[in-house]
C-alpha cells in the first residue's frame, strides 16, 4: 500500500451544507471551489490529490537543492507530472528536506498549500498532512478554517470570484482563468446542477443555451451560448494540452481539463 494512503470516501450534501453555513455563503459557492480545485480530494489509489510546487520548495529551502535536484527545486514554477506521479516528485523532495517538501505541495479537495497549515488550523505541517490523509471531511474543515482566517469569506459570500481567486490562487490567478472557472461552476450548481461525479452535459458544435454559456465562460470566450467554430477550436486546444482525443466534443474528461 502506497505511503499517504487514507480514506477516499466522498463528501455528501450535508458536508457542503455544514461548510456553507459556517462560512455564511451558499452551498453552490463551496461546491464551485471544490469543482475547480479538484473535483474530489483523492486519487484512485487512495492518496490525497497533491500538486508539488518546485518554486515553493526552492523558497522553503533557500535554494540549496537547486543544483543537485533541479527538477524539484527551482526558482521558477513548473515541472509538473500530474496525477499520482506528483508523489514521485514529493518523495524526491522529502529525501532532501521532509518538512519543506510537505509545505511545498497543495493538498486534498481544496488544494491548500502545506505552508498554509496554520491558517488552515494546524500547528505544524505534519498534523495538517495527517488530516488531509484522514479524509475529505477534514479537507473540507481545513478549507473553511483557511477561508475564514484569510479573510476570504466576504468574497465567497459576495460571489466576488476575481477577489476570491486573487486571495486563494495568488496574483497570477487570471493566467489560469480561476475566476471565470469559479463563476461557471457556481452558475451550474446555483441552477440546481446534478450532484454526481459528472454534473456537466456533453456538448458539441451546434449546441446552444445556458450550458454552452457556462462552457464559454470557463474557456474565457464571449458567452453567447452558441457552440460554433471558435468554441470548438478552444475546446480542441484544451484537449491537446491535456493529452485527450481532439474531437472538440466536451465530455467528462474535457470538462475536467477545462475546469482545472
Confidence category of residue 1, pLDDT binned at 50, 70, 90 = low
Whether residues 41 and 154 share a domain: the answer is yes
Q: Indicate the pLDDT class of residue 36, thresholds 50, 70 and 90.
A: very high
pLDDT at 89: 98
Determine, yes or no, domain membership for 31.
yes
Three-state SS annotation for 206-227: CCECHHHHHHHHHHCCCCCCEC
Q: Is 8 inside a domain boundary?
A: no
> The cell 470566450 sits on which residue?
221
Per-residue pLDDT reduced to its tens digit, 64-90: 999 999 999 999 999 999 999 999 999
What sign results for the dihedral spanned by CA atoms 92, 93, 99, 105? Answer: negative
Same domain assignment for residues 53 and 88: yes
Runs of H (alpha helix) within the chain: 13-23, 27-37, 54-60, 86-96, 98-103, 125-134, 136-149, 153-158, 161-169, 178-190, 210-219, 229-242, 252-259
Domain at 186, CATH number = 1.10.101.10
Residues 147, 154: Cα–Cα separation, whole Å: 9
Q: Are residues 104 and 221 in the same domain?
A: no
25 and 144 belong to one structural domain: yes
30/152 same-domain check = yes
Indicate if 178 and 86 belong to the same structural domain.
no
Structurally, the chain folds into a number of domains equal to: 2
Among 105, 134, 158, identify where a domain stops.
Answer: 158
Within 8 A by CB and 6+ apart from 171, the residues are: none
Question: Does 246 share its domain with 200?
Answer: yes
Q: Note the pLDDT tens digit of each residue in 136-145.
A: 999 999 999 9
Residues 221 and 150 reside in one and the same domain: no
Share of the chain above pLDDT 90, in %: 75
**pTM for this one?**
0.76
- Residue 133 and residue 190 in one domain: no
What value does the mean pLDDT of the chain take? 92
Q: By residue range, what is the domain housing residue 242?
A: 161-259
Is 4 inside a domain boundary?
Answer: no
Q: How many CB atoms lie within 10 A of CB 125?
A: 23
Lowest mean pLDDT among 79-83, 96-100, 217-221: 217-221
Looking at the structure, tell me whether residues 181 and 84 fall in a common domain: no
Whole-angstrom distance, CA of residue 107 vs CA of residue 49 = 6
Last residue of a domain, which of 124, 141, 158? 158
Verify that 170 and 142 share a domain, yes or no.
Answer: no
In-domain check, residue 103: yes
Q: Which of 101, 131, 158 is the last residue of a domain?
A: 158
Residue 7 lies in a domain: no
Amino acid at each position: 500500500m502506497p505511503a499517504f494512503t487514507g480514506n477516499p470516501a466522498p463528501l455528501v450534501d450535508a458536508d457542503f451544507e455544514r461548510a456553507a453555513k459556517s462560512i455564511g455563503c451558499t452551498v453552490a459557492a463551496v461546491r464551485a471551489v471544490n469543482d475547480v480545485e479538484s473535483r474530489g480530494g483523492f486519487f484512485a489509489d487512495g492518496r490525497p490529490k497533491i500538486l508539488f510546487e518546485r518554486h515553493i520548495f526552492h523558497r522553503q529551502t533557500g535554494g540549496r537543492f537547486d543544483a543537485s535536484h533541479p527538477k524539484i527545486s527551482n526558482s521558477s514554477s513548473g515541472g509538473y507530472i500530474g496525477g499520482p506521479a506528483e508523489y514521485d516528485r514529493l518523495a524526491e523532495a522529502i529525501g532532501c528536506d521532509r518538512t519543506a517538501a510537505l509545505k511545498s505541495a497543495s493538498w486534498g479537495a481544496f488544494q491548500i498549500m502545506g505552508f498554509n497549515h496554520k491558517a488552515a488550523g494546524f500547528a505544524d505541517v505534519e498534523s495538517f498532512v495527517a488530516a488531509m490523509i484522514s479524509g475529505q471531511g477534514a479537507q473540507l474543515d481545513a478549507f473553511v478554517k483557511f477561508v475564514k482566517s484569510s479573510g476570504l469569506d466576504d468574497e465567497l459570500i459576495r460571489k466576488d470570484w476575481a477577489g476570491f481567486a486573487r486571495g486563494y490562487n495568488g496574483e497570477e490567478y487570471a493566467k489560469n482563468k480561476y475566476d471565470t472557472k469559479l463563476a461557471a461552476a457556481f452558475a451550474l450548481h446555483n441552477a440546481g446542477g446534478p450532484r454526481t461525479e459528472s454534473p456537466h452535459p456533453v456538448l458539441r458544435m451546434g449546441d446552444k443555451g445556458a450550458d454552452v454559456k457556462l462552457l464559454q465562460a470557463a474557456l474565457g470566450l464571449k458567452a453567447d451560448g452558441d457552440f460554433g467554430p471558435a468554441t470548438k477550436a478552444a475546446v480542441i486546444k484544451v484537449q491537446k494540452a491535456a493529452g485527450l482525443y481532439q474531437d472538440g466534443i466536451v465530455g467528462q474528461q474535457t470538462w475536467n481539463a477545462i475546469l482545472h
